[in-house]
A and B are shown apart, each in its own frame.
Chain A
């Protein structure tokens, strides 16, 4: 594109196409295809729908889109018939396709059993800090043919939809859809109407803090990036979401990849960088595919490349993929990973805005932080600042998983208590599950028991009890999980993912796993709990990076809050959840084909196996031993003398 008017033409064309589609006299069926619905068969539903429509020659348009945030009701299919609002159907399975076509698409019926609600033409969007129910009340929405408005769905009632307003609406592979919905306006405004200093001024006004976990002020980061003098600077989008239960960034990449790209581009303009990177975790291939497609489309449209819109600025966005190492998400480790080194964190300072990628000033921001940038430019910093409390402005994506009724990505204003988040938004516990604990901060925060749920879900409030917002991935534990098993799981995860650079984390995490295994197998003592506290505090104090500093935190809070569980393992030697006696570690040894192995030997965690051959695999000249080997069943291990 050569100048601003070319973009305006593209915008006009895209809007016209979008409006024509909305007012089309054909029925539009939209299937939500993303990482959470593919496992339950969304792709097959899409293909089957296309096949059925082709064979029956029906006048129906089939589209695909990203997530609507309703993970629990996948697969979701939306049906928009002419002169009717969109009806959203959930829990559609692969076997339902033909019945679905008959009952919900062709004709005028509505499949009431599977309908979740009806949706207005503008989709799920509300001006924050209003909630969806408030906006439904204001508009006076009522039932349509017995179907309630989707905005009154119990999962959505107290949510806000702003950042996710295009989710489940646009085709993630189409730049035209995104532009028609107001996309790239912020970038064009920042490029042509504003100076970089004005952009940073707006961002600073918002008081927006990073969404990745550390909560650093985005405006200050950008300002220091701008002030560093160098011929080359970089912006990196940290999309390596390695925490074992968080998928907000993954859904952003899958449902609205262009907004992330636009955020990176605005960041590049603000700090005068010409190259931006998107570092995406290798765990979500669909997100990578859709983001790469977004970059390609933007290049084709002339929004990336040389001399963009005649402004004289060059921009390039490169996609880099992580290789399944959790530590890659740490700021400095991420930079090493992009460089093609082992991702091992380094000491700070210098911070990455002074000495980052290839020694140049580099701004590293989370996906969700960057996705907020276009709105900040369009609406202004004061608008953003007015949403939510002073220390936690803006809306926040939250993912909760575990035995909870409504699993999914929700978007809230950060003025809600944990209790409300669990029971009013995510629907409370599933049937037969009893609330036990609320694990905060992914695998790095404290675990809060039932009497601490009045703390707020924001960046400050729950820190006083050892909780942590982190990237707002939470796990709810029920009565089937014991604190010991859970602590051991978290510790093992961190021990496995430790990069091995600094000693306290490399040796301390396996050592703590070892202590927890002792407790788990019934050989623990009460003094082990003090040992956990002592070791944990040492690791927190002297570790190099965030992983080590946070790894023991959940264990310490579990020992503090659920001491009874630990004591039941230690004193009574039984599992408090099932009431069964503990598994003896000796029983876990299995014998197979002359080789002995120990399932999860607690003494070997974090170490590579030693290739020592079993005495039974060595050819023996002793006829008696050979005979033993040939016997069926588990072989008897002969006693051997060692020097």
Chain B
């Protein structure tokens, strides 16, 4: 059966629904407490820091929360949205309970992380970094910077814990544990 190229480009993994929506009152409180710019310049500078702070606490930063930030700092909403959509670290949808962050820095790549990442993508049935597997259990992130422990590469950070010297067997074992949990 011949498949047209358009058919192949289907990417229908739906983003998981936020398990816990961001409490906007919390965001407002945070802004009141920590982000009080002295002038309009500083207000602009603080926008990115505020978004990152929200993400650090809630695991993601929704568009509603960004609207609160814009209102508090008195800057245009589109400016805050433009930051939210540009930066690779910022997410508008939450991650799953398990987060697998594979290091795909140059050194890890030379040591074989590229093939590992392909393998995990296949295993979880996802196409691109940042997606969650279909059972909603594991979110896969690929970190193209450097985690800074190139001596034990390929490296991955799984639920905040580091795993070094990975190979396909170890990865399979780890994924089995994550999925069974």
Q: Which A residues fall within an 8 A CB radius of B?
A: 35-40, 71-72, 74, 242-247, 250, 281-284, 318, 320-321, 323-326, 337-343, 358, 401-403, 407-408, 439, 442-443, 475-478, 480-481, 485-486, 489-490, 493, 496-497, 499, 589-590, 592-593, 595-601, 603-604, 609-614, 617, 637, 639, 642
Contacts and interface: CB of A to CB of B under 8 A. Distances in A.
Given A340-B47, A611-B11, A323 B148 contact: no
B46 A340 contact: yes
Nearest to B113: A489
A245 B89 CA distance: 18
Contacts of A243: 106, 145-146
A446 to B, nearest CB: 14
Interface stretch (B23-31, B121-129, B167-175): B121-129
B149 A601 contact: no
A514 B107 CA distance: 23
A472 to B, nearest CB: 14
Contacts, number: 206
Contacts of A639: 1
Given A39-B148, A481-B110, A597-B10, 4 more contacts: A243-B145, A244-B105, A486-B109, A637-B7
A85 to B, nearest CB: 26
B10 A614 contact: yes
Nearest to A277: B45
A-B complex: 3 closest residue pairs judged by Cβ atoms: A323-B87, A401-B107, A324-B89
Interface in B132-181: 134, 143-153, 155, 157, 162, 164
B106 A439 contact: yes
B54 to A, nearest CB: 12
Contacts of B106: 243-245, 401-402, 439, 442-443, 475, 489-490, 493
A323 B48 contact: yes
B151 A320 contact: no
Contacts of A326: 144-145
A339 B8 contact: no
Contact of A245 (B8, B44, B86, B146): B146
Contacts of A596: 3, 7-8, 10
Nearest to B121: A599
B99 interface: no
A475 B10 contact: no
Contacts of B1: 637, 639
Which of B8, B46, B90, B150 has the largest number of chain A CB atoms within 10 A? B150
B15 to A, nearest CB: 11
A603 B149 contact: no
A247 B148 contact: yes
A71 B153 CA distance: 12
Nearest to A488: B114
Which of A401, A596, A604 has the largest number of chain B CB atoms within 10 A? A401
Contacts of B127: 597-601, 609
Given A242-B145, A247-B146, A603 B9 contact: yes
A320 B146 contact: no
Contact of B11 (A71, A242, A475, A597): A597
B10 A613 contact: yes
A598 B149 contact: no
Contact of A320 (B45, B82, B110, B125): B45
B133 to A, nearest CB: 10
A402 B110 contact: yes
B111 interface: yes
B90 A323 contact: yes
B112 interface: yes
A255 to B, nearest CB: 12
Contacts of A486: 109-110
A402 B113 CA distance: 12
B32 interface: no
A614 B110 contact: no
A625 B147 CA distance: 48
Nearest to A74: B151
B107 A402 contact: yes
A438 B134 CA distance: 40
A480 B112 contact: yes
Interface in B24-68: 41, 44-49, 51-52
B118 interface: yes
Nearest to B84: A323
Contacts of A40: 149, 152, 162, 164
A443 B107 CA distance: 11
Contact of A39 (B7, B48, B155): B155
B78 to A, nearest CB: 11
A639 B13 CA distance: 22
16 contacts: A36-B148, A244-B107, A247-B148, A283-B143, A321-B52, A323-B90, A339-B45, A340-B45, A340-B79, A342-B83, A493-B106, A592-B134, A596-B7, A609-B127, A610-B10, A610-B11
B126 to A, nearest CB: 8
A338 B110 contact: no
A39 B162 contact: yes
Nearest to A640: B7
A443 B146 CA distance: 12
Given A323-B83, A324-B89, A339 B44 contact: yes
Given A40-B164, A71-B149, A597-B125, A341 B79 contact: yes
